[in-house]
Amino acid sequence: MTKVLGYVIIQSYRSCFGKVILVKFNTDDLVNKIIKSYETHKDISRIDEENMINKKIIIEIIDRLRKILFPGYFDNSKIRSEYIRYTVGEHLEFIQYNLRKQIARALGSGDACSECPKSTLENKAEEITDRFLEQIPMIREYLYTDVQAAFDGDPAASSTDEIIFSYPGLYAITVYRIAHELQLLKVPMIPRIMTEHAHSQTGIDIHPGATIGKRFCIDHGTGIVVGETTTIGDNVKIYQGVTLGALSTRKGQELRGVKRHPTIGNNVTIYSETSILGGETVIGDGATIGGNAFIVSSIEAGTKVSIKKPELQYSGSGQDDF
């Protein structure tokens, strides 16, 4: 039972011991404390802000871009060739309008341009948006090679349609390729929001600043981390749990812009649960890195790296003695 007396809410409920307990809850007092915390911790408060990004719109932009990148796969109805120009144009109109607005907000939210006139932000955002949209054919070219690599390398795949519809690795790569182009255009925040959304959906964490070549294949994918300054060549395949990371980030912001993550050459395969760390670490072309390896120094081209076979210990006469 709940009774409201002025700003005080009296909540009564029966405890697990059968006793009735009364809890007094002063709403007005709590509101004052919360508002005071807004003033105390301003770095995590955005009140009266003109330039706040809308994350839901960014996710919708991703969905619209996927409909352009993979026509006929993610639309609600059949895509007819006679209407394809209208369909693509409609998606582009939505993306152009909303992405421009979000980029303008992102540009205005930073210290560098927080005082810039709105017209300046909008003009810059429009220029960036147009340059990004021009990259769509190139993004499709790369994604075509990614889909083909996944199909060629997975005997469990029945078709490329199956990969496009259902493989989390391809979703993460698709969002990365979109976000990377925005990153190259120096758009703040939005690329990271995009890839972290993909991370939340797939368990695959690819920083939009990473540079990744064609025919990139992620098999299974969960737990993969690709750091910001990672460079990956063409025809690279990595399995679940792989980390391409930094040796140490204790210096924090002092390391901004420093090459912290490894370089992976062409035609490299990295098996599950392997960690390759450090900005000076280079994995040469054609190398194969076995599972569970921990690598902090360079590997020559064509090398096969594997962990020494562990010893198994047995006890008892049956298999249930664990």
The torsion angles phi and psi of 292, rounded to 5 degrees, stand at 65, 15
- Condensed to tens digits (0 to 9), the pLDDT of residues 78-95 reads 989 999 999 999 999 999
Measured CA distances, 291 to 219, 265, 276, 305 (Å)? 13, 18, 11, 9
**199 membership: H or E segment, kind and range:** helix 190-202
DSSP 225-276: EE-TT-EE-SS-EEETT-EEE-S--TTGGGGTTS--S-EE-TT-EE-TT-EE
pTM of the predicted protein model: 0.87
- Condensed to tens digits (0 to 9), the pLDDT of residues 115-153 reads 788 889 999 999 999 999 999 999 999 999 999 999 999
Distance between CA atoms of 58 and 95, rounded to whole angstroms?
Answer: 9
Residue 10 in tokens:
């009296």
Distance between CA atoms of 131 and 74, rounded to whole angstroms?
Answer: 25
- Mean of per-residue pLDDT scores for the chain: 90
pLDDT at 81: 92
pLDDT at 8: 54
Under 8 Å between Cβ of 290 and 274? yes
Other beta carbons within 10 Å of 197: 16
Q: Quick check: 41 pLDDT over 80?
A: yes
pLDDT at 62: 98
pLDDT at 88: 96
Q: Quick check: 311 pLDDT over 90?
A: no
The torsion angles phi and psi of 112, rounded to 5 degrees, stand at -65, -30
Q: What letters, b where the CB count within 10 A reaches 16 and e where it falls short, cover 309-321?
A: eeeeeeeeeeeee
Q: Quick check: 214 pLDDT over 90?
A: yes
Band of residue 48 on the pLDDT scale cut at 50, 70, 90 = confident
pLDDT at 322: 47
Q: Quick check: 5 pLDDT over 50?
A: no
Domains, the chain, in order of start with CATH, read 2-44 (no CATH), 47-204 (1.10.3130.10), 210-307 (2.160.10.10)
The conformation of residue 73, written as its DSSP 8-state character, comes to T
Under 8 Å between Cβ of 227 and 244? yes
Band of residue 109 on the pLDDT scale cut at 50, 70, 90 = confident
pLDDT at 107: 94
Averaged pLDDT for residues 232-242: 98
pLDDT at 170: 98
Of the candidates 5, 49, 45, 44, the residue with the CA atom closest to the CA atom of residue 27: 5
Q: How far apart are the first and last CA of the chain?
A: 52
Residue 309 in tokens:
């076979």
Averaged pLDDT for residues 255-283: 94
Distance between CA atoms of 322 and 313, rounded to whole angstroms?
Answer: 11
- Condensed to tens digits (0 to 9), the pLDDT of residues 7-30 reads 455 555 555 556 655 666 678 888
Q: Quick check: 51 pLDDT over 80?
A: no
pLDDT at 193: 98
Among 47-51, 185-189, 258-262, 291-295, the minimum mean pLDDT is found in 47-51
Distance between CA atoms of 101 and 89, rounded to whole angstroms?
Answer: 18
Exposed, middle or buried by CB within 10 Å (0-12, 13-18, 19+), for 221? buried
Averaged pLDDT for residues 174-184: 98
Q: Quick check: 49 pLDDT over 90?
A: no
pLDDT at 145: 98
The sign of the dihedral angle between the CA atoms of 136, 142, 146, 147 is positive
pLDDT at 197: 98
